[in-house]
Structure 1
């Protein structure tokens, strides 16, 4: 009887071991199939996110995993078709803007010449004709500026814009811009001040594009500064150069500051063009800053004005961690600047000193 019991125990242990082995093998196979499918889906998803839209999962059999793979492949194919259509539409839009802008240049030049002739002879016209001639002349000028901006935007979209880098004196560029915008400053009753502790600030940059950025920022500050002072701070550190343009006019909200570099966007819901240019100036300025591997940032507070900060690397191809000038009164990323620079972000223009 004892021998029989021992044989039964031995058989039970062997059967239990075989049963556990079979269950373990089945569990391993099922887990591998499920985890393998998830791992394959994750790998293909990462490749799709990286732009490899042709990647697909391998479909084997007719089980649930195969259905998952087939559904995933169908989703990937649909996304690829939609992305391809959007890319084609974007290229068509860019080509349309570029072609129309080029085609409009010739007739616009002719219209401008005729408008200039009429404008020069306007003193001999009756009051109504004189006013109409002045309106025609100024609107043609505005149209020409918009056309030039559209051509520049089309070059950015096509990837054809390249900076012509050289050793440029940023402080000299700022002074030239202030001198060029002096008539506008006098007309608006605003005083423009330059704050800098150095005589020259030389960086690797495209002077034409940097001058366009600074001019756009200064003109915007004068137009929205409500006759209050406009201050331009220029500062450097070991890696970067910063130019901040601060006004004390109508200001803008955080939402406005986040969208101010969008094309054709205006804070005025009515989108009235009583002030400002084509609506592309800040968008072009942001693209110019990106060409230099730099930053163009905005801050504003309703009723307390706005500040735009351009930061460029001192040497092309080398990065930088922070800007040497503050952007807002709450900017704590920098050590406390000297009073001349801290005046730039003071909310009270009366606190400023040259």
Structure 2
């Protein structure tokens, strides 16, 4: 009795680990043979369903990639025509001039959306590489804050930087980390309810961490579980300042993973949200251990 049970347990563990070809030997017509046949039918069903989902995922990824690439040519033409109209808008009647301005703005949003779709297709194809250089992370964060400060002021939020000191230089892909910061700061501005936004930077000998903390609407536990899903938004009806496709956090998560780092989130309804990016200071190192910053940091309280 013990031997067949052990065999079944080992087969279950292999199946759970992704070895979908694993099956139990069927001998005789007793209860153990019935169990083995039932197990094998279950494994066959799981294998079929997983293969169907994998095939569907590949089709969806290929579709996004193909459509994104095919849209580039007509969008370039639309951009050229829109720029001509935008440059001559002062010669148009006011309603036509306003139309040219709206067209110019929406083409810009379209280009950003297309860029996000193309970036996701590159990640799906495994066609992305890091271009790391020693970078002063505090200076990079200061530049990212300066770029969005006009937007924050327009929404009534003040952005504060808290950087107590430490090992702030790290081997990172500055372009990708700036993109992460743009997404995190943009979300904080959109959902910060005109309250202060605090950006923390800290580090130790092995890792550097950046946390963006807002004191706005926050998210429910169910929303937190889905916040990094592609095309998902906590409140699609909410008025957004920064636009976007619902891919920003998904791309940020991929950028963090490409560095060997992690992007974590804390949020509570009515208390705000905090996203923390932790990266190894040296390219190729494993992160391991604790982040230099707690989640959320508690060294600053919003006024």
Normalising by structure 1, report the TM-score: 0.78
Q: Aligned partners of 1:274, 1:210: CA distance in 2, in Å?
A: 21
The answer on 1:326 being equivalent to 2:283 is no
The equivalent of 2:36 in structure 1 is: 69
Q: Report Cα offsets for 1:312-352 as digits up to 9, x if no partner.
A: 122332333212223236xxxxxxxxxxx701xx2xx22xx
The equivalent of 2:128 in structure 1 is: 161
- Once the two structures are overlaid, the 10-residue window that deviates more, 270-279 or 173-182, is 270-279
The equivalent of 2:201 in structure 1 is: 234
Segments ≥4 residues shifted beyond 6 Å = none
State whether residues 57 and 69 of structure 1, in contact with CA within 8 Å, keep that contact through their aligned partners in structure 2.
yes
Deviation at 1:281, TM superposition (A): 0.7
Aligned match for 1:89, one of 38, 41, 56: 56
- Once the two structures are overlaid, the 10-residue window that deviates more, 64-73 or 205-214, is 64-73
Q: Aligned partners of 2:158, 2:145: CA distance in 1, in Å?
A: 10
Q: RMSD across aligned C-alpha pairs, in angstroms?
A: 2.2
The equivalent of 2:263 in structure 1 is: 296
- Which structure 2 residue ranges, 5 or more long, are not aligned? none
Deviation at 1:237, TM superposition (A): 2.2
Q: Secondary structure at the match of 1:73?
A: helix
The equivalent of 2:253 in structure 1 is: 286
State whether residues 234 and 244 of structure 1, in contact with CA within 8 Å, keep that contact through their aligned partners in structure 2.
yes
Deviation at 1:259, TM superposition (A): 2.2
Aligned match for 1:136, one of 96, 103, 116: 103
Q: Aligned partners of 2:220, 2:45: CA distance in 1, in Å?
A: 40
Count of aligned positions? 302
Q: Aligned partners of 2:276, 2:83: CA distance in 1, in Å?
A: 38
| Cα distance change, pair 247–70 in 1 and its aligned pair in 2 (3 A) | closer
The answer on 1:342 being equivalent to 2:303 is no
State whether residues 109 and 243 of structure 2, in contact with CA within 8 Å, keep that contact through their aligned partners in structure 1.
no
| Cα distance change, pair 271–155 in 1 and its aligned pair in 2 (3 A) | farther
Normalising by structure 2, report the TM-score: 0.91
Deviation at 1:199, TM superposition (A): 7.8
The answer on 1:263 being equivalent to 2:230 is yes
Q: Secondary structure at the match of 1:262?
A: coil
Q: Secondary structure at the match of 2:38?
A: helix
- Which structure 1 residue ranges, 5 or more long, are not aligned? 1-33, 330-340
State whether residues 242 and 309 of structure 1, in contact with CA within 8 Å, keep that contact through their aligned partners in structure 2.
yes
| Cα distance change, pair 81–117 in 1 and its aligned pair in 2 (3 A) | same
Q: Secondary structure at the match of 2:117?
A: helix
Q: Secondary structure at the match of 1:160?
A: coil
Deviation at 1:310, TM superposition (A): 1.0
Q: Aligned partners of 1:288, 1:295: CA distance in 2, in Å?
A: 9
Q: Aligned partners of 2:294, 2:287: CA distance in 1, in Å?
A: 18
Deviation at 1:269, TM superposition (A): 5.2
The answer on 1:194 being equivalent to 2:161 is yes
The answer on 1:60 being equivalent to 2:14 is no
Q: Aligned partners of 1:163, 1:275: CA distance in 2, in Å?
A: 26
Pair member with larger Rg? 1
Q: Aligned partners of 2:90, 2:217: CA distance in 1, in Å?
A: 38
Q: Report Cα offsets for 1:264-283 as digits up to 9, x if no partner.
A: 22221536656531111111
Which one has more relative contact order, counting CA pairs under 8 Å at least 6 apart?
A: 2
